[in-house]
Amino acid sequence: MGKLASVAEALLTPHGVDRYLELIDPMLVRRGIRGRITAVRRQTPATLTMTIRPSRAWRGFRAGQYVRVTVTIDGVRRTRCYSPACSQHRADGQLELTVKALEDGLVSGYLHRYAEPGMVLGLSEPDGTFGLPDPRPEHVLLISGGSGITPVLAMLRTLADENHPGEVALLHYENEPADLPYRAELAELVADRPNFRVRFACTMTDRGGDLHGFFSRAHLDQVAPWFGAAETFLCGPVPLMDSVRKEYANEGLSERLHTEEFTPPAFAAEPGEVTGQVRFTRSGKEFANSGKPLLEQAEDAGLRPEHGCRMGICFSCTQLKASGPVRNLRTGEVSAEDNEEIQLCISAPCGDVEINA
Ligand code: FES
């Protein structure tokens, strides 16, 4: 079969077998991973949960990692990162992705409107270092807010499948009771596991949750009085992350706190670097460097480069920089190598820069 496939591949060059297989059934492609939606459900008005059967190239994931999901909207491929919310040991090998509709979310809005069984999505290999270590820590505390629940939920379900004997607790924050996802399911999951505990907190109401108000030491003591002896995994909005970090720093427990952040880079271009001309050679656009990330500068000039997360995670904005110095806004490093691949969303020019796009 392998030989036959390579002969076919050679005959079908330059397009390759995958281009033709894609037309017959996208799930048959041999390079790259696709996923077919097998079920959708709406747990809360703002969330969409999709069950997805990945194609054969999928090799599984570790709880806490994310995958890049690609959809084509109006002819443009768009990529976003989502963390599977299911156990990494899920028996049927399918993935569960829960997508929160963001107000101006292009991809999340599209999925909310159009996702249905049968739809095929592009998937990447799983990525990311946020996850449970091996061997598992004895006690595990999971703290999340909003869509940050998905990676820690995968951890909780994975530990449940492994019959983890230590204490495991999940403390999850949403604004209102109507936003709380997975409530019934998690109640069932912990019902016959006395060492597992799930508590939902509502920040904007004083009823409807197990706890109310923003993260506090009191919440921590109620949910996991043993937190000092645990490894804690945290994913959620910046204010929640900041308060948990502060509490753990006060307790001298910062090294036991593991975080996942989907936030834009903190660095900005240095004022002295806002010089030079930026040239997008293929599209023939040239303009004065404004100091913003290259993706934004290109968009300001009327270009529409492919992009996804806009924060350096998904790599969908990667382009070849022909020449010129750019600062990586995530690491702060400046690189002036010719013909190097850069991510437009986190690279700011520091002088004359030429991009092959
Ligand atoms: S848009 Fe995701 S890395 Fe640039």
pLDDT in tens, 150-168: 999 999 999 999 999 999 9
Percent pLDDT > 90 in the chain is 72
What is the CA(344)–ligand 1 centre distance, in A?
7
- Contact 345 CB / ligand 1 (< 6 Å): yes
pLDDT in tens, 118-128: 999 999 999 88
**Ligand 1 pocket mutation, candidates 309, 321, 341, criterion most atoms within 8 A of CB:** 309
What is the CA(311)–ligand 1 centre distance, in A?
5
Mean per-residue pLDDT over the chain, rounded: 90
CB 145 within 8 A of CB 122: no
pLDDT at position 6 is: 63
Nearest atom in ligand 1 to the alpha carbon of residue 309 is 2
CB 111 within 8 A of CB 99: yes
Select from 19, 40, 18 the least CA-distant residue to 119: 40
- What the block records as the tokens of 219 is 């919440």
- Contact 319 CB / ligand 1 (< 6 Å): no
Question: For residue 231, which amino acid is it?
Answer: E
- On whether the pTM is more than 0.85, the answer is no
pLDDT beyond 90 at 101: no
pLDDT beyond 70 at 227: yes
**Ligand 1 pocket mutation, candidates 70, 81, 315, 326, criterion most atoms within 8 A of CB:** 315
* Cα(335)–Cα(155) distance, integer angstroms: 38
- Contact 343 CB / ligand 1 (< 6 Å): yes
| Cα distances (angstroms) measured from residue 26 to each of 33, 43, 53, 222 | 9, 29, 12, 49
Q: What 3-state class would DSSP assign to 329?
A: coil
pLDDT band at 357 (very low <50, low <70, confident <90, very high): confident
DSSP string, 223-256: H-TTGGGSEEEEES-HHHHHHHHHHHHHTT-GGG
DSSP string, 136-175: PPSSEEEEEEGGGHHHHHHHHHHHHHTT--S-EEEEEEES
pLDDT band at 4 (very low <50, low <70, confident <90, very high): low
pLDDT band at 14 (very low <50, low <70, confident <90, very high): low
pLDDT at position 11 is: 60
Question: Residue 235 burial (CB < 10 Å; 0-12/13-18/19+)?
Answer: buried
- What the block records as the tokens of 314 is 């998904």
| Cα distances (angstroms) measured from residue 168 to each of 23, 39, 87, 225 | 46, 29, 15, 11
Strand order of the sheet with strand 257-260?
Answer: 211-212, 196-202, 168-174, 140-145, 231-235, 257-260
Nearest atom in ligand 1 to the alpha carbon of residue 79 is 2
pLDDT band at 255 (very low <50, low <70, confident <90, very high): very high
* Across 248-269, average pLDDT: 83
